[in-house]
Structure 1
Amino acid sequence: MITLSAQSSTPMYEQLYTQLAAEIRSGARAPGSPLPGRRTMANQLGVSVNTVDAAYQMLAAEGLAESRPRSGFYVQDTGGMLCPAPTAPLPETVPDGPAVREPAPRYDLSTGSIDTALFPARSWGRIQKELLYQAPELLQRGPMQGDEDLRREIARYLASYRGVVCTPEQVVVGAGIEYLLGCVAHLFAGSCAAVENPGYTRSRTILENNGISCRLVDIDRHGLPAEGLEACGANLCYVTPSHHFPTGVTMPAWRRAQLLAWAAARPGRYILEDDYDSEFRFSTRPLPSLQGMAGADGPVVYLTTFSKSLAPGIRIACMVLPPHLLKRYRQDFAVYSNTVSRFEQETLCRFMAQGHFTRHIARMRLAYKRRMETFADALRARLGPQLTLDGTRSGLHFLLTLPGAGGERAMVQSARAQGVQLRGLSEYYMARPEACRPDTVVAGYAALRSEDIPAVADALGRAWRPQTHSTCVPPASMV
């Protein structure tokens, strides 16, 4: 018997539909039998005809009933293809990860964060507000490569500050380096790429996920060696010459020339230049890009992102394609829409055109330099002369080496116990971890508040200082 409740939060037409559907699925209403007329059913239940009609229409839409002109609704003959409606409630969603989570660290020295307090919220927000009222055309779909005005500003900026030689037509805007690197990988599907070791594990994964096999090449103190490229047999080279991650090595001009000579020696060889952290060089102006050395039609695909200079959440990056690859890109991606909001694109365009971006970079560079120097001084004062810091001239992290602190793994764990999160250098080795420098961790300071620096240095001192002053007694296994 069908009963409806006016007190239920479920609409009555849905209650009626649910009960009729259950009767049909269970066989209580035989195939071909008529359903009560809408007025009859409405009178029986004390509801409106529209309520009954809505329930019947839902049954018809699901194939449980059919409407016959001038006759009414009949139970549909489904040929036994209907499954009984589930009678038990669905299980609750199980959250990802372990049931018991460790508390979040008090201080995060990871390399993927920035200081959000440095974001130019006032000028960025003012531009966005103006666009919402003044540029309704941005609600329409834009060009596949990104809006032309933004590409023109990016080309102008890259030419001035990175020595990139390109036209706005060669610039492609996309939602992050990962997306753009996947697009590039598509253009070289089936190729083999040399990847820096240590380096970005994420970049290797993206390349392999898009059909590129990877060969790991150990870097030296000048970056990726050309002889390693030749030996591995790759036709692509993924490299971070301006600021290698995570070591911070800057590739000198002569080594860059060797890489370009390798690419030019055989048709089909290309360099994928990720210009990581190039804006944050504290002592000298960065060397020109590999793309600029090779020229507009050279064998270099240039990639960079605004995630560190603005914010990771804005998701704006760009790449510069040589003309012969650009033609292929336009053919293969012609039906794709651009992945960056046009309001974000135009905001960045005006932010750059009005001079805000260069001033913002200058302020950030000064702020991060002061923070790095303060942090480095605090660590040296707390951890003593055995401490070595490398990579302090550029980027937003440095390598911290402390012999006698128990080794990398113990350093990471004891720091975590003191509320400080950081990673060991060996975590970035994708092969041959035995080549990793011992007793070394990677410390990012971009998201570290200046007022927290003394507390972080004290916490690391408590974590590592006891081991540095212990007497040199060999372990029992070595006696």
Structure 2
Amino acid sequence: MIELQPNAKTPLYEQLYAALADEIRQGVLPPGSPLPGRRTMAAQQGVSVNTVDAAYQMLAAEGLAEARPRSGFYVQKTYGMLHPRRAAPAPAAEPHPAENAPLYDLSTGSVDTALFPARSWGRLQRELLYQRPELLQRGEMQGDAALRAQIAWYLSGYRGVCCTPDQIVVGAGIEYLLGCLAHLFAGSLAAIENPGYARTQAVLRNSGLACVPVDIDRDGLPAAALEQSGASLCYLTPSHHFPTGITMPATRRAELLAWAAARPNRYILEDDYDSEFRFDTRPLPSLQGMAGPDGPVVYLTTFSKSLAPGIRIACMVLPRPLLAQYRRDFAAYANTVGRFEQQTLCAFIAGGYFTRHLARIRLAYKRRMEAFAAALRAALPGVQLGAVHSGLHFLLTMPGAQGERAMVESAAREGVRLRGLSEYYLARAELCTPNTVVAGYSALRDADIDAVAAALAKAWNKPSESKG
């Protein structure tokens, strides 16, 4: 029986195809021999018939197998003559668990897929597929007007964003939208928070913008340091700084808006990436709302955290002077989000599903955060947890540990993937709080919380005290 790995990144049909192809090439399955029927193979492997069919079709496309009407799939007869049997290579040593998929993933880029509203989302999308054939046609460059109207309504009511639907641009992910903005700000020097989101710096640099890291303090990015940097563009995560979790106070926000207003063509890019997940108080209104619809702020947000990273829908709100340039420069571009996905999200918001979904997952993540924090405090005496009440990760500091790198490596040996805080420093990593890692819990199963805490206690030589 072929060993498939359901939790691996490679899809099951590709795993099955690769295993069968290898057996054919090695002569284990001789030319002309029949492959098991699709239903038989599906039952043997515990997968769907569609998975088997996809694997068999790939074999046929490569010329390793042939499909015979009303008979099934057979190993290609000519394959053995063209490719004589070779000795099977010696089996590779089993990889260490830390080098393969971890048992527990505490990275910050995943979500709990079990919380995805599959039933309501799927029903809405099926209805659109059958009832709205016009969605097969090319849509508006900025995104469908109906979706932009719903997004404007949501952002106004829940994030204090001040805009009209015509100012919204829908795109397939923040990275795509940042690439568009880099074109609009060609020749500018962009300031990036340090520590911060390295992917943002990479996208802007790949798109031709020079970037300079600016150190944050306990209130976020200081306006004085921004002025000294010489930048005319600034990327911020003010509602929940990544990765420290700092919430920028209103006074600092006002200082940064004053910096932007002091000279022409200065702009702030406000990334409001996970403001939905604040568990203690309501988040401050957006920086864009403070600046107004024509102020020097471009607002960006994504549905990756609230729905799923695989649903590539993000948006930006452009001040009108930039909107005119965007429409001129990108007039020939097609929107990068499929119209069925756009209209499904539109119906999802308009029907009240989205706000109910947010309330449900906010409660689920809050309970998980509280349980995880309690388990860590019980298993790791002296542990310090920072930025617990907002976002879907927090900072974990273990005083007396042997250093951040040792913490990450020993955790990996126990099957726990996480990243050190210093990895997010774009410069001056010596400023990093020692013995600190970033622990994301959005993809952590509730049933695994105690096991993760115990694994980290073992990794960091902090065995839990036993009673008696």
Q: Could you say whether these structures have the same fold, taking a TM-score greater than 0.5 normalized by the shorter chain as the test? A: yes
CA distance in 2, matches of 1:465, 1:440: 16
Cα deviation 1:237-293 (Å, max 9, x = unaligned): 000000000000000000000000000000010000000210000010000101000
1:348 matches 2:345: yes
Q: Secondary structure at the match of 1:196?
A: strand
Contact 1:106 1:420 in 2 (8 A): yes
Cα deviation 1:334-356 (Å, max 9, x = unaligned): 00000000000000000000000
1:458 matches 2:428: no
Q: Secondary structure at the match of 1:442?
A: strand
Name 2:265's counterpart in structure 1: 268
Please tell me the residue identity of whatever aligns with 1:108. Answer: D
CA distance in 2, matches of 1:466, 1:212: 46
Q: Secondary structure at the match of 2:461?
A: helix
Name 1:110's counterpart in structure 2: 107
Please tell me the residue identity of whatever aligns with 1:294. Answer: A
Matches within 5 A, 1:146-185: 146-185=143-182
CA distance in 1, matches of 2:464, 2:375: 17
| 376 and 201 in structure 1: CA distance in 2 versus 1, 3 angstrom threshold | same
Matches within 5 A, 1:329-478: 329-384=326-381, 386-466=382-462
State the 1:100 CA deviation: 6.6
CA distance in 2, matches of 1:348, 1:276: 17
Q: Secondary structure at the match of 1:364?
A: helix
Q: Secondary structure at the match of 1:280?
A: coil
CA distance in 2, matches of 1:461, 1:379: 8
Please tell me the residue identity of whatever aligns with 1:446. Answer: S
Q: Which of the residues 208, 211, 221 maps onto 1:211? A: 208
Q: Secondary structure at the match of 2:460?
A: helix
Cα deviation 1:195-223 (Å, max 9, x = unaligned): 00000000001111111111110001100
Cα deviation 1:356-414 (Å, max 9, x = unaligned): 00010111110000000000000000001x11000111000000000112110111011
Cα deviation 1:108-138 (Å, max 9, x = unaligned): 0000000000000000000001001000000
| 230 and 468 in structure 1: CA distance in 2 versus 1, 3 angstrom threshold | farther
1:130 matches 2:127: yes
Give the share of equivalent positions with the same residue, in percent. Answer: 73
Contact 2:148 2:170 in 1 (8 A): yes
Cα deviation 1:37-61 (Å, max 9, x = unaligned): xxxxxxxxxxxxxxxxxxxxxxxxx
1:189 matches 2:159: no
Q: Secondary structure at the match of 1:465?
A: coil
CA distance in 2, matches of 1:330, 1:467: 60
Q: Secondary structure at the match of 2:310?
A: helix
CA distance in 1, matches of 2:464, 2:402: 8
Contact 2:380 2:462 in 1 (8 A): no
Q: Which of the residues 231, 251, 261 maps onto 2:248? A: 251
State the 1:103 CA deviation: 2.0
Q: Select the structure of larger CA radius of gyration.
A: 1
Cα deviation 1:430-471 (Å, max 9, x = unaligned): 1000000000000000000001001001100111134999xx
Cα deviation 1:68-98 (Å, max 9, x = unaligned): xxxxxxxxxxxxxxxxxxx99xxxxxxxxxx
1:236 matches 2:237: no
Name 1:80's counterpart in structure 2: none
CA distance in 1, matches of 2:453, 2:462: 14
Q: Secondary structure at the match of 2:277?
A: coil
Name 2:88's counterpart in structure 1: none
Contact 1:405 1:467 in 2 (8 A): no
Name 2:280's counterpart in structure 1: 283
Q: Secondary structure at the match of 2:360?
A: helix
Structure 2: tracts of 5 or more residues without a match: 1-30, 33-81, 84-93
Q: Secondary structure at the match of 1:312?
A: coil
Structure 1: tracts of 5 or more residues without a match: 1-7, 10-86, 89-98, 470-479
Q: CA RMSD in A?
A: 2.0
Q: Secondary structure at the match of 1:279?
A: coil
Contact 1:408 1:440 in 2 (8 A): yes
Contact 1:406 1:467 in 2 (8 A): no
Name 1:322's counterpart in structure 2: 319
Matches within 5 A, 1:6-25: none
CA distance in 1, matches of 2:106, 2:186: 36
CA distance in 2, matches of 1:135, 1:265: 49
Name 1:44's counterpart in structure 2: none
Name 1:69's counterpart in structure 2: none
For normalisation by structure 2, the TM-score amounts to: 0.78
Contact 1:383 1:465 in 2 (8 A): no
For normalisation by structure 1, the TM-score amounts to: 0.76
Q: Secondary structure at the match of 1:314?
A: coil
CA distance in 1, matches of 2:318, 2:233: 14
Contact 2:266 2:296 in 1 (8 A): yes
Please tell me the residue identity of whatever aligns with 1:247. Answer: T
CA distance in 2, matches of 1:456, 1:217: 35
CA distance in 2, matches of 1:205, 1:415: 28
Runs of 4 or more consecutive aligned structure 1 residues displaced over 4 Å after TM superposition: 466-469
Deviates more, 1:204-213 or 1:109-118: 204-213
Q: Secondary structure at the match of 2:437?
A: strand
Name 2:62's counterpart in structure 1: none
1:144 matches 2:141: yes
Q: How many residues align?
A: 376
Please tell me the residue identity of whatever aligns with 1:431. Answer: A
Please tell me the residue identity of whatever aligns with 2:152. Answer: A
CA distance in 2, matches of 1:393, 1:261: 29
Name 1:308's counterpart in structure 2: 305
